[in-house]
Amino acid sequence: MEIRDRLLGNVAIVELNGRLTINDQPGQLHRAVSSMIDRGAQHVLLDLANVPYIDSTRLGELIAAHVSVTRGGGRLGLIGAPARIVGLLAMAGLGDIFERFDSIDAAVAVLE
């Protein structure tokens, strides 16, 4: 998995590329989100357009990131989540927990 991030005002964009599995470095996603909060982000957008698969271990990390952001009064949104990931969230009972957006521009417009 590769992670790139950038800050647009108080909105962090965290772009993820590749499969998110137990084989990844533990805590990598959560650390990236925490780092953006430390840099001044209130809201975090996870761009999942290039993530074909998330296993249950990394799903837990996604939940931890959501908790970190919302505890600080922010919102965590998902950009371009593939149908497979949306289905996994629904099966896990998390379909309504994560805001989903079609594009970064649409999400930033709502969060600013």
CATH T-level fold of 2-111: Transcription Regulator spoIIAA (3.30.750)
Question: What is the per-residue pLDDT across 46-84, written as a single tens digit (0 to 9) for each?
Answer: 999 999 999 888 888 999 999 999 999 999 999 999 999
Token pair of 49 as six digits: 């357009």
CA 63 vs CA 78, 105, 107, 109: distances in Å: 12, 23, 19, 24
This prediction has a pTM of: 0.93
The reported pLDDT for the residue numbered 70 is: 95
> For 4-49, how does the pLDDT look when each residue is reduced to its tens digit (9 = 90+)?
999 999 999 999 999 988 887 878 898 999 999 999 999 999 999 9
Question: What residue segments make up the domains of the chain, in order of their start?
Answer: 2-111
